[in-house]
């Protein structure tokens, strides 16, 4: 299986919104509502930000939202803040209890 | 609170094996699958496989089949990942992570750096 496709980078100014895409196939993203998004700071473990396409774990700001259309999932960060600068990874269930990750997107807050 | 504490950094020679441990606390160990994920330097996340701590059943990503073994010891609430026939390309941080039940990973260990060098 190939990794899910994410743009290598994204950027926005404080207060703006930015959307990161995650493209897969009908065998993963398009086939299941089990897309997750993770935030990772350098040298730290990833943190779950979104699960089941659009649900937020307790404690994650509602500035973070997720959606899906067809084989592409998206993470939107609204009201960008300096602390949102990090790497973001999507993942999807891929059948047979398999999991697949995206290549990651480096989000820069200008 | 949920905590996953992994074993310390390792340095191995090519061809050797490494075994990383992941001790769980703060929840019922046998109630949640544990997944293992690795991250090579400057690279993205790569899923390696999972283990069901209740049954001991495991499943591995195709890339690692034949080289990885995931086990657990329920008496000490610890999961293990052993990777054999190491190459330079196996140099990475290895993470254990608790599966929420829908493949989302809610809690992560701190990571274990495995360096493969001759």
Which tokens go with A45?
């473990």
pLDDT of residue A96: 83
**Count of alpha carbons within 13 Å of B55, Cβ hemisphere only?**
7
For A35, the closest chain B residue by CA position comes to: B104
Across the interface, of A45, A89, A103, the residue whose CB is closest to B110 is: A45
Q: To probe the interface with A, which of B104, B107, B110, B112 has the most A CB atoms within 10 Å?
A: B104
CB contact under 8 A, A38 and B50: no
Given a cut of 90, whether residue A2 has pLDDT beyond it is: no
Shortest CA gap A98–chain B (Å): 7
Given a cut of 80, whether residue A1 has pLDDT beyond it is: no
pLDDT of residue B110: 97
For B44, the closest chain A residue by CA position comes to: A103
CB contact under 8 A, B105 and A36: yes
pLDDT along chain B (118 residues), means of 10: 97 98 97 97 95 96 95 98 98 96 93 97
- Nearest Cα neighbor of B30 from B59, B50, B57, B52 is B52
In angstroms, the CA A87 to CA B114 distance is 22
Mean pLDDT score, A37-62: 97
Percent of chain A whose predicted confidence (pLDDT) is above 70: 99
pLDDT of residue B101: 87
Given a cut of 80, whether residue A76 has pLDDT beyond it is: yes
For A55, the closest chain B residue by CA position comes to: B104
pLDDT of residue B30: 97
């Amino acid at each position: 299986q190939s990794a899910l496709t994410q743009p290598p980078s994204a950027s926005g100014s404080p207060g703006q919104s930015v959307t990161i895409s995650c493209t897969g196939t009908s065998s993963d993203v398009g086939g299941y509502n089990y897309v997750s998004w993770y935030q990772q700071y350098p040298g730290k473990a990833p943190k779950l930000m979104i699960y089941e396409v659009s649900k937020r774990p307790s404690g994650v700001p509602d500035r973070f939202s997720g959606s899906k259309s067809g084989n592409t999932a998206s993470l939107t960060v609204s009201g960008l803040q300096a602390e949102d600068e990090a790497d973001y990874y999507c993942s999807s269930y891929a059948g047979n209890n398999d999991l697949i990750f995206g290549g990651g997107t480096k989000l820069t807050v200008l | 609170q949920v905590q996953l504490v992994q074993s310390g950094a390792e340095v191995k020679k090519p061809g050797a094996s490494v075994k990383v441990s992941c001790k769980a606390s703060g929840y019922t160990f046998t109630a949640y699958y544990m997944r293992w994920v690795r991250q090579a330097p400057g690279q993205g996340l790569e899923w390696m496989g999972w283990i069901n701590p209740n049954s001991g059943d495991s499943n591995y990503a195709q890339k690692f089949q034949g080289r990885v073994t995931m086990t657990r010891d329920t008496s000490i609430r610890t999961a293990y990942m052993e990777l054999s026939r190491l190459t330079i390309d196996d140099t990475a941080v290895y993470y254990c992570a608790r599966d929420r039940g829908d493949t989302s990973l809610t809690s992560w260990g701190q990571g274990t750096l495995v360096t493969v060098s001759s």
